[in-house]
């Protein structure tokens, strides 16, 4: 019997992926653990419709994971890649935030998001065991502790705001983290959260989004249920590509009747998601039949998920994997070395697969310069958000 990590009721098996790779995205070429894989079993809670992993991986396995230097999203402070989602997050918070205060970001990475708060006049503190903490200190002068968050490291009731992006879903016990956060918030303090949106992932059929690192796949409903148990009220919710929530202990000023807390039928959505993955497998079968030479643009967990949908016979036909992040060049994704897109012309291929949801639009824009080349493009998602290049007036996405 397994129990829900939100409501603690019994759960039921919902999805099983045999031998899913432990590591997402790139690794050093000589990493001995690169080939590790484990069965990934997801459970659904019939009480609160929370989707979560059956068991978390043992701590020693997780340690291999989180101690990898490449365990890192792109560094917006250094490359600009990944900055837009943080600007979107700030735009979400803006209408509900006080003018200034003291903010702690847990999982502050390179300090980019905190630098945005700093520019608004907030006092900022960071906390992240990732070596990128050094960038936050050196580039932005942000007081950042290079360690895991523990409430005991801070005086009680210190912060006006605690920000946690893309961390809660990694925790075996999300209640324990929220409880510790509540201990360092002042009585009128706010908690701003961003997590992947299970409803969106399943509706979109996002490749590679169900993996070992994410213990929980939250919906607005299950996240609200979790927070309510700590006396936190929802002040603002964005139920979009990701799930953004601002909550606080103080009574809500407005009644958020517009927040959709309706039950979502995740079981049916999981079935449709599985059918979507079968469609992707069928695409690879068709390309196999054509003996097409393949290249992949994107070297993230999305591509790890994509490779898991290929047959072994497909791999020899992949001749290149490209990514815009210079930190990934020369590293390995599965059996492939990652190359800079500037080298695209050096490779012969028939089909270029755009392997990203978040950056699909930017990649397509970038590929316009190769429109004379003779290769087909494969994308997996409808047109995603389009961010016009700096200095252009084009705000409309004209691609179909
Ligand atoms: Zn539950």
Q: What is the pLDDT of residue 77?
A: 81
Q: What is the pLDDT of residue 390?
A: 38
The rounded Å distance from CA 226 to ligand 1 centre is 9
Q: Assess if residue 274 is contained within a domain.
A: no
Residue with tokens 């995603």: 384
Q: For ligand 1, a single-atom ion, which residues have Cβ within 5 Å?
A: 4, 6-7, 9, 45, 47-48, 50
Q: Assess if residue 186 is contained within a domain.
A: yes
Q: What is the CATH number for 100?
A: 3.40.50.150
Q: Could you read off the pLDDT of 225-283 as tens digits, one per residue?
A: 999 999 999 999 999 999 999 999 876 555 554 566 677 888 999 999 999 999 999 99
Q: What is the pLDDT of residue 400?
A: 33
The rounded Å distance from CA 233 to ligand 1 centre is 19
Domain of residue 58 covers 12-67
The rounded Å distance from CA 3 to ligand 1 centre is 8
Q: What is the pLDDT of residue 385?
A: 54
Q: Are residues 151 and 48 in the same domain?
A: no
Residue 149: exposure state from Cβ atoms within 10 A (0-12, 13-18, ≥19): buried
Q: What is the pLDDT of residue 399?
A: 34
Q: Are residues 144 and 255 in the same domain?
A: yes
pLDDT along the chain (400 residues), means of 10: 95 92 87 85 92 88 70 71 88 94 96 97 95 93 95 97 96 96 96 96 94 94 93 93 91 55 84 95 97 96 95 95 92 93 95 94 90 90 58 37
Q: Are residues 94 and 212 in the same domain?
A: yes
Question: Which CA distances in Å does 187 have to 183, 244, 251?
Answer: 9, 22, 11
Max CA pair span of the chain: 64
Q: What is the pLDDT of residue 73?
A: 64
How far, in Å, CA of 259 to CA of 106, rounded?
26
How far, in Å, CA of 289 to CA of 371, rounded?
25
Q: Are residues 53 and 96 in the same domain?
A: no
The rounded Å distance from CA 251 to ligand 1 centre is 25
Domain count of the fold of the chain: 3
Nearest residue to 77 (alpha-carbon basis) of 115, 105, 106: 115
Q: Are residues 31 and 98 in the same domain?
A: no
Q: Are residues 311 and 369 in the same domain?
A: yes
The rounded Å distance from CA 43 to ligand 1 centre is 10
The rounded Å distance from CA 59 to ligand 1 centre is 24
Q: What is the CATH number for 330?
A: 3.40.50.720
Q: Are residues 257 and 328 in the same domain?
A: no
Q: Which residues pair with 243 in a beta bridge?
A: 195, 239
Domain boundary residue, one of 67, 97, 112: 67
Q: How many residues does the chain have?
A: 400
Q: Assess if residue 275 is contained within a domain.
A: no
CA quadruple 102, 81, 85, 263: dihedral, nearest 10? -120
Q: What is the pLDDT of residue 130?
A: 87
The rounded Å distance from CA 11 to ligand 1 centre is 7
How far, in Å, CA of 102 to CA of 104, rounded?
7
Cβ atoms of 291 and 40 within 8 Å: the answer is: no
- The sheet with strand 102-106 has its strands ordered as 143-145, 123-127, 102-106, 159-165, 185-196, 242-248, 233-239
The rounded Å distance from CA 353 to ligand 1 centre is 38
């Amino acid at each position: 019997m397994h129990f829900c990590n939100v409501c603690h009721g019994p759960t039921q098996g919902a999805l099983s992926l045999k031998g899913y790779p432990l590591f997402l995205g790139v690794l050093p070429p000589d990493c001995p653990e690169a080939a590790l894989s484990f069965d990934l079993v997801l459970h659904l809670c019939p009480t609160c419709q929370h989707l979560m992993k059956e068991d978390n991986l043992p701590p020693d396995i997780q340690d291999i994971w989180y101690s990898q230097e490449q365990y890192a999203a792109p560094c917006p402070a250094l490359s600009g890649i990944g900055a837009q989602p943080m600007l979107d997050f700030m735009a979400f918070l803006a209408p509900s935030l006080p003018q200034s205060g003291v903010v702690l970001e847990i999982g502050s990475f390179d300090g980019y998001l905190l630098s945005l708060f700093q520019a608004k006049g907030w006092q900022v503190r960071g906390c992240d065991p990732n070596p990128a903490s050094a960038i936050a200190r050196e580039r932005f002068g942000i007081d950042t502790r290079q360690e895991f968050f523990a409430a005991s490291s801070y005086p009680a009731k210190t912060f006006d705001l605690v920000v946690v992006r893309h961390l809660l879903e990694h925790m075996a016990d999300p209640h324990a983290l929220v409880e510790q956060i509540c201990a360092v918030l002042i009585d009128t303090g706010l908690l701003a959260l961003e997590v992947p949106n299970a409803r969106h992932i399943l509706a979109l059929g996002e490749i590679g989004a169900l993996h070992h690192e994410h213990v929980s796949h939250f919906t607005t409903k299950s996240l609200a249920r979790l927070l309510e148990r700590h006396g936190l009220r929802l002040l603002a919710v964005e139920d979009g590509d990701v799930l953004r929530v601002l909550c606080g202990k103080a009574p809500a000023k407005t009644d958020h009747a517009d927040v959709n807390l309706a039950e979502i039928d995740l079981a049916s959505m999981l079935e449709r998601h599985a059918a979507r993955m079968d469609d992707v497998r069928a695409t690879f079968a068709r390309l196999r039949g054509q003996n097409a030479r393949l290249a992949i643009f994107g070297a993230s967990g999305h591509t790890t998920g994509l490779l898991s949908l290929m047959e072994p016979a497909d791999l020899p036909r992949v001749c290149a994997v490209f990514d815009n992040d210079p930190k990934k060049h020369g590293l390995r994704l599965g059996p492939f070395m990652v190359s800079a897109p500037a080298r695209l012309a050096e490779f012969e291929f028939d089909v270029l697969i755009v392997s990203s949801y978040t950056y699909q639009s930017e990649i397509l824009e970038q590929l316009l310069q190769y429109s004379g080349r003779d290769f087909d493009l494969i994308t997996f998602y409808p047109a995603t958000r389009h961010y016009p290049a700096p200095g252009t007036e084009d705000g409309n996405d004209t691609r179909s």
